[in-house]
């Protein structure tokens, strides 16, 4: 009789890891094979995969359903503009700084809104986002309510030629996405990941097994704020213009992100990836419909939530038992 | 001094409207632990229904309540029976995400039908009428609106504690399984609660539409005002929501006086201050 061992990898996940590596290599070489439009679209896709993965970690694993993540996208965006324009910091340094300050701001915010339980937490996050938006529109040094563009001098400090800047921003988007995914993956593989899975499945049972639920949730909230603020800074470095309404848009940075995660499969690391592919495929074909397109997205999300609450990837897992990344723990060798 | 008194009085009167936003939200949370993210958009939907009613029937907006209130109650009953009942359970996600989807659907549906133009209901001479009290000029319409808000809260309080329906609401609120054992059909009780909630929403929506401009995008802010009033007042207490609405209204009025850009911010800061100092609210009733 051999000793029982805990294994993460399955044959499917081994294939998955190889596929991820290949995909990363192809995507990193995109400036060689893609044109300007391709790079822009891909960078936007990376931003949504990252935002959705972070929201998935927050809502799907830690049970902290936030409808106010636009607070951190907008905060990151305004920090980028503030740090570069008012403090004279290089934009590429301003992005990680925006993430760190975002996480620092998240600490007192969490102290307040963690007092709200369950459903009311969700609306509390929305209030925070509104407060951030209203404060941003009071900052006249950054354009107040009408917003401001990034000065040419700061833009050219990233790279001299337009092509050089586009390549740098593209690689930066990919790098932040990979960093976010690696961080989430590492977190989920660590003992915090085990605690999170336990909390996701049954919070009371997790608590009675000695897990400090509040502490774990706080860590997840801070990590999410860090990643979301960094991504917010990068998104608006690409846009070159910020305004309170675009930076704190609930549609762009929360509604879409929630739909992506729900449709792809909430509570699974692969869900946001699948969801983003579906979302962009729909958008490329139906975006001309404008508000009707949003209406349909809302309806699809409701139907998925009612009929297949685990989303597309949840269905695949139930049917085929696949996992793209070695995250699950399986007991082997016991006989 | 009179100027500040005036500001406070106007704030109190607006607070009545916020209390009506809050009452419907508080009721369904109390009965079925559901937070309806589409609550604000349903208020706007009621405003548009009133717009259609006044334009097609040629009646005063306040008369249109006769049509809009039953219609919204019916929508509430159908919505709960058809969709929301399926989302209730130990998991928090389905009701939140389904009502969030509903919010997006209502907003964009209204945008398709009525465009993004802002609209307003015309209630005639009553809009500009006012009475003088102790040197302060008080609008007749805000006064009526506040009186209606107090009446709505009192009616909900009466219904909750003095009628068979209220007893059913409280029973399912306490223990759903036992309520079913003694013969209550929870699906029906929940649908009734949503119907009552949306009837209140209808009244709030019509008064909102008479008082100020509205467009399809203003729903989420109304949800937030209602939610803040609920938390300030204390979960599950009807009179608490009225107090919460008034505090929010006064905070916004004072903020607006200091700087027009501070109106909404002052309301949110008052909410956050209460959350920091007294998270259970002013008049707490139930432990959520």
pLDDT digits (tens, 9 = 90+) for A222-264: 999 999 999 999 999 999 999 999 999 988 899 889 989 998 9
**Nearest residue to B139 via CA among B130, B126, B148, B147:** B130
Report pTM: 0.89
- Provide the token pair at A34: 């893609």
Give the pLDDT band (50/70/90) at residue B134.
confident
pLDDT digits (tens, 9 = 90+) for A258-302: 989 998 988 888 899 999 998 888 888 887 777 888 888 889 889
How many residue pairs from chains A and B have C-beta atoms closer than 8 A? 123
**What pLDDT was estimated at residue A272?**
93
Which of B28, B100, B231, B278 best tests the A interface by mutation, with the highest count of A CBs <10 A?
B100
Its sign, for the CA torsion A327, A330, A332, A334, is positive
Contacts of A113 in chain B (CB under 8 A): 275
Cα B260 from chain centroid? 24
How much is the average pLDDT of B153-182?
89
Closest to B224 (Cβ–Cβ): which among A118, A123, A258? Answer: A123
Question: Where exactly are the structural domains of chain A?
Answer: 38-246
Which of B92, B101, B107, B219 best tests the A interface by mutation, with the highest count of A CBs <10 A?
B101
Q: What residues contact B264, with CB distance under 8 A and at least 6 apart?
A: A130, A134, B221, B252, B255
- Check whether domain B2-277 has CATH 1.10.3470, yes or no: yes
pLDDT of B73 strictly over 90: yes
A306 near B CB under 8 A: yes
pLDDT of B287 strictly over 70: no
**What pLDDT was estimated at residue A312?**
86
B234 near A CB under 8 A: no
Give the pLDDT band (50/70/90) at residue A335.
very low
Dist CA A259 CA A249 (whole Å)? 15
Contacts of B228 in chain A (CB under 8 A): 127
Give the pLDDT band (50/70/90) at residue A329.
low
Give, for B149, the enclosing helix (H) or strand (E): helix B140-162
Q: Distance between terminal CA atoms of chain A?
A: 6
**What pLDDT was estimated at residue B286?**
53
Q: What residues contact A164, with CB distance under 8 A and at least 6 apart?
A: A158
**What pLDDT was estimated at residue A233?**
95
The most confident of A54-63, A119-128, B189-198, by mean pLDDT: B189-198
Q: What residues contact B70, with CB distance under 8 A and at least 6 apart?
A: B199
Contacts of A292 in chain B (CB under 8 A): 108, 112
B81 near A CB under 8 A: no
- Provide the token pair at B107: 């907003």
B183 dihedral zone (left: phi>0; alpha: psi -120 to 50; beta): left
Q: Residues B74, B80, B81, B82: what is their CA dihedral angle, to the nearest 10 degrees? A: 100
Give the pLDDT band (50/70/90) at residue B193.
very high
Of the ranges A44-58, B63-77, B103-117, B228-242, which one carries the lowest mean pLDDT score?
Answer: B228-242
Of the ranges A116-120, A301-305, B40-44, which one carries the lowest mean pLDDT score?
Answer: A116-120
Question: Where exactly are the structural domains of chain B?
Answer: 2-277
Dist CA A261 CA A254 (whole Å)? 10
B102 near A CB under 8 A: yes
* Chain B nearest-CA residue for A267: B93
Dist CA A112 CA A121 (whole Å)? 10
């Amino acid at each position: 009789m051999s000793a029982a061992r805990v294994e993460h990898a399955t044959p499917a996940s081994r294939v998955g890891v190889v596929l991820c590596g290949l995909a990363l290599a192809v995507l990193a070489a995109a400036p060689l094979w893609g044109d300007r439009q391709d790079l822009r679209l891909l960078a936007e896709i990376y931003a949504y995969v990252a935002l959705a993965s972070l929201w998935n970690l927050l809502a799907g694993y830690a049970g902290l359903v936030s409808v106010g993540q636009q607070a951190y996208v907008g905060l990151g965006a305004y920090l980028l503009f503030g740090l570069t324009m008012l403090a004279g910091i290089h934009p590429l340094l301003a992005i990680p700084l925006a993430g760190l300050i975002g996480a620092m701001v998240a600490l007192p915010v969490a102290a307040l809104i963690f007092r709200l339980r369950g459903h009311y937490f969700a609306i509390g996050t929305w209030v925070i986002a509104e407060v951030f938006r209203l404060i941003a529109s009071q900052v006249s040094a950054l354009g107040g309510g009408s917003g401001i563009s990034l000065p040419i001098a700061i833009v050219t400090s990233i790279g001299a030629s337009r092509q050089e800047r586009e390549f740098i921003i593209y690689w930066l988007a990919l790098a932040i996405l990979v960093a976010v995914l690696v961080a989430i993956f590492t977190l989920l593989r660590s003992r915090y990941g085990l605690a999170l899975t336990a909390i996701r499945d049954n919070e009371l049972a997790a608590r009675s097994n000695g897990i400090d639920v509040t502490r774990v949730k706080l860590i997840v909230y801070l990590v999410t704020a860090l990643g979301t603020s960094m991504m917010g800074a990068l998104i608006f470095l690409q846009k070159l213009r910020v305004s309170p309404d675009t930076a704190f848009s609930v549609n762009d940075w929360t509604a879409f992100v929630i739909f992506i995660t729900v449709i792809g499969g909430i509570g699974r690391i692969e869900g946001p990836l699948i969801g983003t592919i579906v979302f962009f495929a729909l958008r490329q074909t139906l975006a001309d419909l404008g508000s009707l397109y949003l209406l349909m997205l809302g309806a699809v999300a409701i139907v998925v939530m009612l009929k297949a609450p685990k989303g597309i990837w949840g269905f695949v897992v139930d049917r085929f038992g696949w996992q793209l990344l070695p995250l699950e723990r399986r007991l082997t060798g016991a006989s | 001094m009179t100027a500040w008194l005036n500001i406070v009085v106007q704030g109190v009167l607006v607070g009545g409207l916020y209390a009506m936003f809050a009452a419907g939200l508080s009721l369904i949370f109390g009965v079925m632990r559901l937070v309806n993210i589409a609550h604000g958009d349903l208020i706007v939907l009621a405003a548009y229904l009133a717009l259609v009613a006044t334009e097609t029937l040629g009646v005063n907006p306040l008369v249109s309540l006769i049509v809009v209130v039953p219609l919204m109650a019916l929508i509430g009953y159908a919505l709960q029976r058809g969709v929301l009942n399926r989302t209730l359970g130990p998991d928090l996600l389905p009701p939140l995400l389904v009502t969030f989807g509903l919010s997006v659907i209502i907003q964009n549906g209204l945008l398709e039908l009525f465009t993004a133009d802002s609209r307003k209901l015309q209630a005639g001479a009553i809009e500009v009428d006012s009475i003088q009290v102790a040197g302060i000029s008080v609008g007749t319409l805000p006064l009526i609106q506040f009186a209606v808000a107090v009446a709505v809260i009192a009616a909900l309080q009466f219904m909750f504690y003095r009628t068979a329906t209220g007893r059913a609401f409280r029973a399912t609120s306490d223990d759903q399984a036992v309520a079913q054992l003694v013969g209550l059909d929870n699906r029906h009780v929940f649908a009734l609660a949503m119907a009552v909630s949306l009837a209140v929403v209808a009244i709030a929506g019509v008064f909102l539409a008479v008082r100020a401009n509205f467009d399809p995008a203003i729903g989420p802010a109304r949800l937030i005002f209602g939610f803040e009033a609920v938390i300030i007042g204390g979960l599950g207490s009807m009179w608490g929501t009225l107090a919460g609405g008034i505090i929010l209204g006064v905070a916004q009025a004072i903020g607006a006086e200091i700087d027009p850009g501070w109106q909404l911010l002052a309301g949110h800061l008052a909410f956050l201050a209460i959350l920091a100092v007294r998270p259970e609210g002013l008049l707490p009733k139930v432990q959520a």
